[in-house]
C-alpha cells in the first residue's frame, strides 16, 4: 500500500526579528502515514507536535524538508511548494484538520457549522444538515443546541461541534490536535468508536494525543518527537 503522506526531514523555527532570536519548534522529523491507519504524534511540550500538523496543513511553511501528499488522482504534491490555490483545493476536498478550538461565524447554528464541509463539496442543504444532525447526535450534542450558535456553548460542547464538523465529510487525510481534550469519558469513548470506524473506511489520520490510553486504543504507529536542540548564536555566546 502506498503512503498517502510522506514527511521527510521536516524542520520549523520561528524568528523574533526585534530580538534577533530564533526559536526552534521541530527538527528533522520524518515519517509516513498509510491509508486506513492512525499515526499518533507524542512527545513533551515544546517538541513541535502542533507545528508538524500545521506544516502538513500548510498553516505554517517549514524551513526545511518536504511534505509529500498523494492525491485521490494519484499525483504527488509537495505541500511545502504547492500554490495557495492547490492547498485550498486539497483542504476543500481531501485534507481535514480538527484543531483544539472551534472557529466559526458567530451567528450560525451548530448544525450549519457542521454541515459546511459537505455543502462545500456539493451536497444539498437538506442532505448536509441531515448528516450534520446525525454526527451531532453521535457525539452527544443535545438536540436543543443544534439550531443554536455555538458561541455560548461550554468548552466541551464546542469541541464536540468542532469534531463533528471535521469528521462529517470523511477527508482522505484527517489531522487531529488533541481531539478529546475537553470531553468527558463517555463522549471520548464515542469519539474513539467513530475514529475506529472511519479508519476502517480507509481514512488516514495523523493525531496528537497526550493520554497514553488513547494512543494504545487508536494508534497503528507512534511517532515520538524530542524537543529540538537550542543552539546559541555567536553574539549570545560572546556576551556570557
How much of the chain exceeds pLDDT 70, in percent? Answer: 93
pLDDT band at 16 (very low <50, low <70, confident <90, very high): confident
What is the structure's pLDDT at 230? 56
Q: Which fold has domain 1-94+171-230?
A: Rossmann fold (3.40.50)
Q: What is the pTM of this model?
A: 0.88
Q: What backbone torsions phi and psi does residue 94 show, to the nearest 5 degrees?
A: -130, -30
- Pull the grid cell for residue 128: 448536509
What is the structure's pLDDT at 234? 40
CB-based contacts of 193: which residues, under 8 Å, 6+ apart? none
b/e per residue 76-104 (b: at least 16 CB within 10 A):
ebebbebeeebbeebbebbbbbbbeebeb
Of the listed ranges 134-138, 176-180, 230-234, the least confidently predicted one is: 230-234
**Per-residue model confidence as pLDDT tens digits over 29-79:** 999 999 999 999 999 888 899 999 999 999 999 999 999 999 999 999 999
- Pull the grid cell for residue 126: 437538506
| H or E element, residue 192 | helix 185-200
Which DSSP state fits 59? S
Domain ranges of the chain: 1-94+171-230, 103-170
Distance CA 69, CA 103 (A): 26
Q: Looking at residues 199-223, what average pLDDT do you find?
A: 93
224 pairs with which residues across the strands?
42
Which DSSP state fits 150? G
Check pLDDT > 80 for residue 167. yes
What is the structure's pLDDT at 103? 74
What is the structure's pLDDT at 231? 52
Distance CA 237, CA 45 (A): 26
- Pull the grid cell for residue 53: 500538523
Amino acid at each position: 500500500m502506498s503512503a498517502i503522506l510522506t514527511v521527510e526531514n521536516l524542520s520549523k523555527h520561528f524568528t523574533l526579528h526585534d530580538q534577533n532570536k530564533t526559536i526552534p519548534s521541530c527538527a528533522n522529523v520524518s515519517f509516513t502515514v498509510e491509508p486506513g491507519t492512525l499515526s499518533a504524534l507524542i512527545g513533551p511540550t515544546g517538541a513541535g507536535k502542533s507545528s508538524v500538523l500545521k506544516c502538513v496543513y500548510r498553516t505554517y511553511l517549514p524551513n526545511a524538508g518536504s511534505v509529500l501528499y498523494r492525491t485521490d488522482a494519484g499525483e504527488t504534491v509537495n505541500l511545502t511548494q504547492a500554490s495557495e490555490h492547490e492547498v485550498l483545493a486539497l483542504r476543500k476536498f481531501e485534507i481535514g484538520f480538527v484543531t483544539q478550538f472551534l472557529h466559526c461565524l458567530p451567528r450560525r447554528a451548530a448544525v450549519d457549522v457542521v454541515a459546511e464541509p459537505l455543502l462545500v463539496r456539493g451536497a444539498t442543504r437538506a442532505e448536509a444538515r441531515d448528516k450534520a444532525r446525525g454526527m451531532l447526535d453521535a457525539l452527544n450534542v443535545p438536540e436543543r443546541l443544534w439550531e443554536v450558535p455555538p458561541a455560548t456553548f461550554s468548552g466541551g460542547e464546542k469541541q464536540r461541534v468542532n469534531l463533528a464538523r471535521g469528521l462529517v465529510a470523511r477527508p482522505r487525510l484527517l489531522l487531529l490536535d488533541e481531539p478529546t481534550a475537553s470531553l468527558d469519558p463517555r463522549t471520548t469513548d464515542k469519539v474513539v468508536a467513530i475514529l475506529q470506524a472511519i479508519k476502517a473506511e480507509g481514512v488516514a489520520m495523523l493525531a496528537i494525543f497526550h493520554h497514553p490510553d488513547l494512543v494504545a486504543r487508536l494508534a497503528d504507529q507512534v511517532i515520538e518527537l524530542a524537543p529540538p536542540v537550542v543552539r546559541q548564536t555567536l553574539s549570545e555566546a560572546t556576551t556570557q
